[in-house]
Amino acid sequence: MKLIALVDCNSFYCSCERIFRPDLINKPVVVLSNNDGCAISRTTEAKALGIEMGAPYFKIKKYCELKKIHIFSTNFSLYTDISRRVMNIIIEESPSAEVYSVDEAFIDVSGIKDIEEFSKRLKEKIYKKTKIPVSIGVGPTKALAKIANNLAKKSKKSKGIVILKEKRLQDVALARTPVEKIWGIGRANSEKMNRLGIKTAKDFRDYKNTKLIQKIFTKVGLQLQEELKGEIRFGLDYDITKKKEIMCSRTFGSTVNTKKDLKESVANYVSDVAKKIRDQGSLCTKITVFARTNPHNEEVPQYYMHGEKKLTNPTSNTFKLIEHALEIVELGYREGYAYKKAGVRISNFYGEKEYQIDLFEEQESEEEKKLMHVMDKLNNYNGNGTIKSLACGLNNDAFKMNRNHKSQRYTTHWDELMYFNQKTNIKK
DNA sequence: TCTGGGGTCCTAGGACCC
DNA sequence: TCTGGGGTCCTAGGACCC
């Protein structure tokens, strides 16, 4: 039987701060987001005092002072560093692990004889070496491990470890879990579930009309239901090092009111994402830029500037990307608005599986067929299926492809073709 | 006065093609 | 010249997660 453990750090950012302030153990602590905007991490003591996730700081400031809640501004480089230490221990101690986020990791514990003993040892070791407390939940699937973990956090008796191996235990656990606590069911979907009379995770698991589940909650909802039944739908992913999109965005302390200032910020964000994409060794073929006014402020006129650009040549070059980004700002910028937030996102990375197929995998060797095949891939890779007609040939002479239906929609340039050729190791 | 930042996945519907 | 049904690709946007 397959068993998956989820190790989750308790109130991670707060716990990181406590490493240097052991006097705050057992005291309420809150960590705020950028610009001290809102609460993003709370200890159990702070939760008990009613501090909500995402609560705007200006609304709770007085209350925090009154209740002597200790407030910290974020220190992401610290958290990243501590996270790495914790994850390294988990990887060292486990047969195989997937680092899922900054404070969580899944472990395949199927082969381990005494899972309780293993969990206890791991938990102790992490605490001893990093001073970060963790909870561990075990179940046949990721979704069940998540539920086990939630219970481990809640129940004092469990001492931070809950193992949901037997069906009987799962029944009890699921009946005690309201739907909105299920991993992957957020506010919108839990409201829909309640309307269907589904209140607990057990109700959801046992809901017979799976067609309806699929219809309302889409494929993901159906997969979740199956996971709760103990059927694995989300396997462990050991190789998630490469991102599919990278973004950088900021809320401004005060608003930005000129095109020049906005361009300056955008250029900064671009250099940030460009560095990241080079670090992961990819090139991107799409860039998105957005800037928006403050949606929380109803007094000011609202505008959401948003534009994207497909790049013919994949790149990670900062200057090229900045050029593209500023062009988008140039097109989308409107005078007279107070911009409160802006960001840049790059995506459609070159270097992913689907683009690495051998273009000549079909061994039929007629030249025309080969070229058509390349064109199809190129179309795919350019992401728009409507390349006009193929201009391809030595000396840059146009060389038109004729499909039997005389479509002339496939075009590109020889350089581009050669570039693609090079990258994918096609033998000419 | 002050409301984070960085991701992933899915679907509906439009555009386009044959 | 007539025109429809079916397929594919792409985008916007929703929902969710940490």
How far apart CA A5 and CA A107 sit, in angstroms, is 5
pLDDT (0 to 100) of residue A407: 27
pLDDT value at A403 more than 60: no
Distance measured from the CA of protein residue A128 to the C1' of nucleotide C4, in angstroms: 71
C-alpha count within 13 angstroms, C-beta hemisphere, residue A423: 22
Question: Which pLDDT belongs to residue A30?
Answer: 97
Q: Where are the beta strands (DSSP E) in A49-88?
A: 70-72
Residue A210 has pLDDT above 50, yes or no: yes
How much is the pLDDT for A253? 86
pLDDT digits 0-9 by tens, A359-371 = 323 333 344 455 5
DSSP symbols for A103-158? TEEEEE-TT-S-HHHHHHHHHHHHHHHH---EEEEEESSHHHHHHHHHHHHH-TTT
Nucleotide nearest to A408 (CA to C1'): B17
Structure tokens at A275: 């560095």
Per the CB < 8 A criterion, the answer to whether A343 and A308 are in contact is no
pLDDT at A207 exceeding the cut of 90: yes
Closest CA to A268 of A250, A286, A285: A250
Position A63 scores a pLDDT of 96
pLDDT for A380 beyond 70: no
pLDDT at A75 > cutoff 70? yes
E strands present in A298-338: 304-315
Cβ-based burial of A395 (10 A; exposed 0-12, middle 13-18, buried ≥19)? exposed
The pLDDT value given to residue A299: 84
The pLDDT tens digits of the residues spanning A300-352 come to 888 888 888 888 788 899 999 999 999 899 888 888 889 999 999 998 887 64
Q: What is the mean pLDDT of residues A237-255?
A: 85
Distance, CA of A245 to C1' of B16, in Å? 27
Q: Is the pLDDT of residue A18 over 70?
A: yes
Q: How far is the CA of A254 from the C1' of B3 (A)?
A: 13
Residue A395, pLDDT above cutoff 70: no
pLDDT (0 to 100) of residue A412: 38
> Which region among A173-177, A298-302, A349-353, A396-400 has the lowest average model confidence (pLDDT)?
A396-400
Q: What is the pLDDT of residue A265?
A: 92
pLDDT of residue A168: 97
CB-based contacts of A319, cutoff 8 Å, min separation 6: none
Buried b (16+ CB within 10 A) or exposed e, A71-92: bbebeeeebeebbeebbebbee
Taking only the tens place, the pLDDT of each residue in A55-69 is 999 999 999 999 999
Protein side of the strand B interface (CB < 7 A): A 33-35, 37-38, 40, 53-54, 56, 58, 218-220, 243-251, 272, 276, 294, 296-297, 340-341, 343, 386, 403, 405, 407, 409
Q: What is the mean pLDDT of residues A249-268?
A: 92
| Under 8 Å between Cβ of A173 and A147 | yes
Q: What is the pLDDT of residues A272-285, one digit of tens each?
A: 999 998 888 888 88
Q: At A169, list the tokens.
A: 């235990």
DSSP A285: E
Instruction: Taking residues A371-381, report their average pLDDT.
Output: 53
Mean predicted confidence (pLDDT) in A100-116: 96
Contact A38, A32 (CB under 8 A): yes
How many other CB atoms are there within 10 angstroms of residue A234's CB atom? 17
Name residue, tokens 């994402």. Answer: A273
The mean pLDDT of chain A is 83
How far: A9 CA to C13 C1' (Å)? 33
Question: Once rounded to an integer, what is the mean pLDDT over residues A393-400?
Answer: 24
Can you state the angle between helices A142-154 and A167-175, rounded to 10 degrees?
60
Intra-chain end-to-end CA distance of chain A, in Å: 50
The length of chain A, given as a count of residues? 428
Alpha-helical runs (H) found in A103-141: 115-130
| Distance in angstroms: CA A144, C1' C18 | 18
User: Which residues of the protein have their beta carbon within 7 Å of strand C?
Assistant: A 100-104, 146, 182-190, 306, 308, 310, 379-380, 382-385
Instruction: Specify the amino acid at residue A427.
Output: K
pLDDT for A372 equals: 53
**Within a 10 A sphere around the Cβ of A378, how many other Cβ atoms?**
19
Q: What's the whole-number mean pLDDT along residues A405-421? A: 37
Residue A260 burial by CB count (10 A; 0-12/13-18/19+): exposed, middle or buried? exposed
The tokens describing A4, both together, are 């998956």
pLDDT for A373: 55
